[in-house]
Chains A and B, each alone.
Chain A
Amino acid sequence: MAYTADANKKFQKELNSGSASLVLLSILAQADEPMYGYRIAKLMEVDDESVPMMKQGALYPVLRSLESSGLLESHVDPSVSGPPRRYYKITKAGLATLKSWTRIWSQTKAFVDGILKGKTDV
């Protein structure tokens, strides 16, 4: 049982490491205004309460990584209610990357779904 739980955790982690960037780019592409990490984390929490895709704390290094790749840009603004916040916004390169990653995701999903469907049919 413990092995299954560990294997599930590992599988989830491997899936997340690839899809987290796609999810974050997509959220920021749909946002009307720049968003800060906590707000993005809350949005993901609302979107999928049953299966947390990833720990909220793991979003921050992904955001930094996307920014250093030029897919996001950010600025720091003071906040009246707390510490200064770093606001992220998707760049033109980020939108183009999101488009091509979405295509890859759809192809991968269709392929995996096909295989899984085939197996259950057997």
Chain B
Amino acid sequence: MCKDVNEYLVKLKKELAGCDPALIQDALSDAEGHLRMALDEALLGKPSLSKPEAIASIIGKYGHPEEIASAYRAIESRTSPALAVSREKETGSSWARFFGVLAEPRAWGAFFYMLLSLVTGVVFGGWALFAGIISVISLVFIIGIPIVGLFLLSIRGIVFLEGRIVEALLGIRMPSRPLFLDQNLSLKGKFMALVKESFTWKSLLYTALQFPLGLIYSFGIFLLFALSLSFIGSPVLELLFHLPLELFGPEAFTPVWFLPFVCIAGFFLLPLTFHLARWVGKVHGKYAKSMLVRT
């Protein structure tokens, strides 16, 4: 029998060993929030009740770690990541697979993630870099510590939001519950818990790196997408609208005999762009999971 909430959480984590780390984080957050709320309510409502008695009764209703772990395992096995785009089975000839990427929601999800990373990279990464520098400078003053604490909390909020975007667009299971600090800790205790946890610093590093990564992703994918479309539309652009592609120098038109080749190259470059987006999405999803899920 568990003596307190922490012991329950340790047992639940042990029971969930081998599960997706994001699921473990969610299950622990759910349990911690529920049990602490129930304990506070039980002790307030019946002050004569001892803490072990209250814990025993609460766990009896909530479920023992092995029961709850089995419930999470059972439901998770038939639940796909929230809003995640479906996984298609790659079938058909190599040509069909090559061009079929254009009809694949997963590739489009990764494509939009890379475009969106211009905004998220600048906003999230910018905040991590500039607010981080300001809070470090503020440490010289007495008000510095609360400012650093608030800054680190804001980074937790940002990585939770980023995790939801990653799950929705890249289809990687990420935590659906935000992390919280033990309400029973003093302000100093909360600050120390925040500072001591490696998750905080990994989150900060991830958010700061989103700044350059976001710029590379968005400009890279936009450039390839724009090139593909302009190559495909080159005959119309050059012959009908008299807009030179400038492949052979400034304001130079492409020779007419060469235009079909440019157009065909565009039809190949477009699926290649989406294959690249899907691959980047897959790699970035794994990277995000390793950085933004508490283990």
Which A positions have Cβ atoms within 8 angstroms of B?
17, 37-38, 41, 45, 52, 55-58, 60-62, 64-65, 67-69, 76, 81-86
The one of B34, B36, B78, B82 that contacts A67, using a Cβ cutoff of 8 Å: B82
Which residues of chain B have a CB within 8 Å of any CB of chain A?
26-27, 29-34, 36-38, 40, 61-63, 67-68, 71-72, 74-76, 78-84, 176-178, 180, 183
Q: Which residues of the partner chain B approach A64 to less than 8 Å between Cβ atoms? A: 26, 75, 79, 82, 176
Task: Say what secondary structure dominates the interface of chain B.
Answer: helix
Across the interface, do B67 and A83 meet the contact criterion of CB distance under 8 Å? no
- Ranked 5 nearest A-B pairs via Cβ: A55-B63, A83-B180, A58-B71, A61-B75, A57-B63
The interface residues of chain B lying within 8 Å CB-to-CB of A62 are: 75
Nearest to A60 among chain B residues (CB) is B30
Given known A-B contacts A58-B71, A82-B40, A38 and B34 have beta carbons under 8 A apart: yes
Identify the interface centre among A41, A52, A84: most chain B CB within 10 Å of its CB: A84
B106 to chain A, nearest CB (A): 16
Q: Cβ of B74 and Cβ of A83 under 8 Å apart?
A: no
Can you list 10 A-B contacts (CB < 8 A)? A37-B30, A41-B34, A56-B34, A56-B61, A57-B71, A64-B176, A82-B37, A85-B33, A86-B176, A86-B177
- Residues of A near B33 (CB, < 8 A) are 37-38, 82-83, 85
How distant is the Cα of A17 from the Cα of B71 in the complex, in angstroms? 9
Determine if B34 and A37 form an interchain contact, defined as CB atoms under 8 angstroms apart: yes
Most buried by B among A37, A61, A82: A61
| CB <8 Å contact, B76 and A45 | no
The reply to whether A57 and B68 contact each other, CB–CB distance below 8 Å, is: yes
* Chain B residues closer than 8 Å to A83, beta-carbon distance: 29, 32-33, 36-37, 180, 183
Contact residue among A56, A65, A86 (Cβ-Cβ distance under 8 Å from B79): A65
- Determine if B62 and A55 form an interchain contact, defined as CB atoms under 8 angstroms apart: yes
Complex Cα spacing A52 to B68, Å: 15
How far does the alpha carbon of A12 sit from the alpha carbon of B26 in the complex, in Å? 26
Most buried by A among B63, B71, B78, B83: B71
A82, B36: Cβ atoms closer than 8 Å = yes
* Complex Cα gap A52–B67 (Å): 14
